[in-house]
Amino acid sequence: MLDRDYIIANRPEIESILKTKKIKLDVDCLYKTIKERKSIINELNCIRNEKNSISKKIAEYKKQKSDCSELFKESKIIAEKTKKLNEVLRNIEEKEMEMMKWIPNIPHKSVPSGENAKFEIIKDCGSFDKKELSYDAITEKHKYTDFKRGAKIAASHFPLYIGKGAYLERILINFMIDVQIHLHNYKEVFVPYLVNENVLFSTGQLPKLKDDMYFIGNDDLYLIPTSEPPVTNIHMNEILRADELPIKYTTYSACFRREAGSYGKDTKGLKRVHQFNKVEMVRFVHPDDSDKELEIMVGNAEKILELLGLSYRVIIIPDNDLSFASSKTYDIEVWAPGSGEFLEVSSISNFNDFQSRRANIRFKDKNNKNIFIHTLNGSGLATPRTMISIIEKYQTEDGDFEFPPILQDYILRGASIFNEL
């Protein structure tokens, strides 16, 4: 959510981002409603001053034992008028909120912008050679995944991992969590997979992405599309201390996405599924530090790929492709040498105070003033496409694959390996 004063002072910028994001909003109606709200508040303040003046007169009249009946009548009229105006104000604020919640975050000045802006490659790491077999040829031959039985159990695009495939998935999750805990000092949490509407509104998934989520109507709850919403809302409606910052959480969760807008995209195998596993990183930081913290988080995600020996690139997302709540986002794309393509495995974003305003998360600054905190979030990493890259990178001549050396060591010695990194 953007600050109302910012919206008032920056109409051209608001109109520009709505156009970039192709969001239809009656901007004239929005600014008219904002003006009406201010007018009602000013009128209420005048009436409040008038009521206070009458209350003082009543007190004086009572001391003098004078007749207060006319003053009481005036006070009653003012009370009735105040009640009606408060009702009008509530309706106007509801109308205002309904429009304001469709305004996306403002892109950071460093983000590529323009109608035809495209992502920019910030960094290339590793060699981008080709391998003979794609992951699906390997997994189908050895039955490491089974989408037909997954569909029989649930529906299309719900993967079933078997044997070595299931083992790799489990080891990857544990390894990624341990990297963030032992190397980057995140605190592990484990969150509910079902959340209410307020949680998803706070992080910006609602109302825009409602059709992409699984909703359980009997309970008014949603399956999480990522663990970002529940982790970010751990501190909903709280005031944190400045000396606590930055607060860093990591978690594993399953993620559930309908991805209603993905028709026509490559939906084969593990590349695009409705249920997948992901390790998440979330930070609550001082506003002065959020740009720096974003770069640190990108490094935290990169470390996973470096340890796994996988090649990748880091790209910055243009304003026309940013998520609704993000001010700046880096994507990390791993190289899949058998498929011959880059696959997104992480998206790391700085939301500034957009989410914290919705979730009402603040901290006390040095002047004891409550300030909205900045939130950041990133994948560390999503497993399906990481698995694709591993299987293709470490494929063997007999059409199978080996675990990366770091995972083999991790299986044998566990988290103790991080003492040497």
Residues 95 and 126 occupy one common structural domain: no
Determine the Cα–Cα distance for residues 80 and 75; give it in Å rounded to an integer.
9
Instruction: For helices 27-63 and 69-100, give the axis angle rounded to 10 degrees.
Output: 160
Contact indicator for 345, 378 with CB cutoff of 8 Å: no
Q: Could you report how far apart the first and last alpha carbons of the chain are, in Å?
A: 40
246: closest CA among 281, 280, 284?
Answer: 284
Structural domain contains residue 333: yes
What is the model's pLDDT at position 72? 83
Tokens 């990366």 correspond to 404
Contact indicator for 257, 209 with CB cutoff of 8 Å: no
189: closest CA among 201, 173, 203, 177?
Answer: 177
Residue 287 main-chain phi, psi, to 5 deg? -55, -35
What is the model's pLDDT at position 261? 46
Last residue of a domain, one of 53, 71, 100: 100
Tell me which residue range forms the domain holding 70. Answer: 4-100
Task: Tell me how many domains the chain contains.
Answer: 2
What is the model's pLDDT at position 269? 85
Residues 152 and 289 occupy one common structural domain: yes
Residues 286 and 248 occupy one common structural domain: yes
Structural domain contains residue 105: no
Structural domain contains residue 114: no
DSSP 3-state of 334: strand
How does strand 187-188 pair with strand 247-256? Answer: parallel
Residues 87 and 124 occupy one common structural domain: no
DSSP 3-state of 296: helix
What is the model's pLDDT at position 380? 97
- DSSP symbol at 395: B
Provide DSSP, 163-216. THHHHHHHHHHHHHHHHHHHTT-PEE----SEE-HHHHHHHT-TTTTGGGS-EE
What CATH number does residue 204 fall under?
3.30.930.10
Residues 141 and 272 occupy one common structural domain: yes
Residues 76 and 203 occupy one common structural domain: no
Residue 343 main-chain phi, psi, to 5 deg? -125, 130
Structural domain contains residue 59: yes
Determine the Cα–Cα distance for residues 98 and 34; give it in Å rounded to an integer.
12
Quick one: the chain helix, strand, coil %, rounded to 5?
A: 50, 20, 30
Structure tokens that stand for 231 in this block: 């982790």
Residues 256 and 161 occupy one common structural domain: yes
CA angle 261, 280, 136 (to 5 degrees): 60
Residues 92 and 126 occupy one common structural domain: no
Contact indicator for 298, 348 with CB cutoff of 8 Å: yes
Structural domain contains residue 328: yes
Determine the Cα–Cα distance for residues 88 and 130; give it in Å rounded to an integer.
66
> What does the pLDDT profile of the chain (421 residues) look like in tens digits?
899 999 999 999 999 999 999 999 999 999 999 999 999 999 999 998 988 888 888 888 777 878 878 888 888 888 899 999 999 999 999 999 999 999 999 999 999 998 789 999 999 999 999 999 999 999 999 999 999 999 999 999 999 999 999 999 999 999 999 999 999 999 999 999 999 999 999 999 999 999 999 999 999 999 999 999 999 999 999 999 999 999 999 999 999 999 754 544 555 689 989 999 999 999 999 999 999 999 999 999 999 999 999 999 999 999 999 999 999 999 999 999 999 999 999 999 999 999 999 999 999 998 999 999 999 999 999 999 999 999 999 999 999 999 999 999 999 999 999 998 8
